[in-house]
Structure 1
């Protein structure tokens, strides 16, 4: 389930909510009960093992490097 970051305009705290994508635009209430919140623009963090090496085509695997 995606996580969305919010900031409360009333108290300034930031918080995270996990909710279905269908509810991505629904209003959020901060943990302190304030309704004046704004959804923050998030970056995606990818974690895990090393990337698989390219199968062909040099550094990018597609042949665009010559």
Structure 2
């Protein structure tokens, strides 16, 4: 079951709730009982290990600047 993060606007407490995806946008009361809460945007990352066959995926190019490597201008 997914975990969703919320912040209470009344007391500022941040908390998580495990609930089905179908209830993700349902109101959530904070542990102190306040009803004025907002769902926070959370990120999820995964790490995969090799072993799937084939060649490994090369790393993404790195660099700085607005054009992906500083070649602006």
The CA distance in 2 between the partners of 1:13 and 1:45, in whole Å, is 24
Deviation of the 1:44 alpha carbon:
1.0
Give the TM-score taking structure 2 as reference length: 0.69
Return structure 1 stretches of 4+ with deviation > 6 angstroms.
Answer: none
Give the TM-score taking structure 1 as reference length: 0.76
> Which ranges of structure 1 fall in alignment gaps of 5 or more residues?
62-66
> Which ranges of structure 2 fall in alignment gaps of 5 or more residues?
59-73
Partner of 2:28: 28
RMSD: 2.1
* Max Rg structure: 2
